[in-house]
Amino acid sequence: MKTLFIALFLLVFFIISIPLFLVEIIIGKFNPHLKVKSSQAIVVTAFKFILFMCGIKKTVIGLDNIPKDEAVLYVSNHRSYFDILIGYTTVPTLTGFIAKKEMGKIPFISVWMKFLNCLFLDRDNVREGLKTILEGIELVNKGYSVFISPEGTRNQEKEMLPFKEGSLKIAEKSGCAIIPVSMNNTDNIFENHLPWVRKAHVVVEFGKPIYPKELDANNRKFLGAYVQNIIRETLEKNQSRVKF
């Protein structure tokens, strides 16, 4: 039943989005920053409604670890399609997600993603992948945070997939802080019992900021493994907080 309600809501949101697209385009002509801000507010409201319909409860830890006056690179584990909903309704900054290139071909959804400064990564094309990373650096330099899942794909195994080191170049080259993000139990919303959506309790924790230039040479060389280890330890710690 929840799955049906979500489908109906997305249909209604699609219809409403048509005039909203026009409004956002007009806003962007005069104030691009306001366009991003208003677009994120609309999308976050829609995502919150979906999570409410699904019966999702969140415990959020460590919001005070996120710098208030600077863009950051959020680095997260990835286990569910719902990670982006959980992420967007939790981060306190204007944030663009890095998604696989296929997302950029989905009508309606891709338009909102572009309004939100989301970037589309071609994992099979090194040159295009580098271009996306450079675009991410440019976004951070403009004051927008970026959210990335360096495993590269949703992972249903117990252990995380190795982090792709190249994705963390956004922080290394821009000088921004990396915020490790752990998400427990998001796969229990949908992936664990396809095709049905179930209520679940999700625990999200934002770790302390990591500035790559302040790390010793070894950790800076293997930055992906260093950040992943922090996320792994946090996931293990927070598993006992999951209630259902």
Edge-to-edge strand order for the sheet containing 95-100?
57-61, 201-206, 177-184, 72-76, 145-148, 95-100, 119-121
- At 52 the pLDDT is 95
- At 47 the pLDDT is 97
> How far apart, in Å, are the Cα atoms of 105 and each of 114, 216, 217?
11, 41, 40
Mean pLDDT within 18-46: 97
Residue 152 has pLDDT above 80, yes or no: no
What lies within 8 Å, CB to CB, of 225 at 6+ separation is 162, 163
The pLDDT tens digits for 189-209 are 999 988 889 999 999 999 999
Q: How many Cβ atoms sit within 10 Å of the Cβ of residue 78?
A: 21
- At 164 the pLDDT is 84
What percent of the chain is predicted at pLDDT more than 70?
Answer: 99
Residue 16 has pLDDT above 80, yes or no: yes
Mean pLDDT within 2-26: 93
Could you tell me the residue ranges of all domains in the chain? 57-241
- At 140 the pLDDT is 97
Contact 227, 181 (CB under 8 A): no
The pLDDT tens digits for 99-129 are 988 888 888 899 999 999 999 998 778 788 8
Residue 85 has pLDDT above 90, yes or no: yes
Mean pLDDT within 51-73: 96
Mean pLDDT within 92-104: 92
Question: Can you tell me the distance from the alpha carbon of 89 to that of 72, in angstroms, rounded to the nearest whole number?
Answer: 17
Structure pTM? 0.95
Query: Angle, nearest 10°, between helix axes 2-30 and 32-54?
Result: 170
Higher pLDDT residue, 171 or 124? 171
Question: Can you tell me the distance from the alpha carbon of 170 to that of 166, in angstroms, rounded to the nearest whole number?
Answer: 8
Model confidence at 158, pLDDT cuts 50, 70, 90, reads: confident
Architecture of domain 57-241: 3-Layer(aba) Sandwich (3.40)
Beta bridge partners of 178: 73, 210
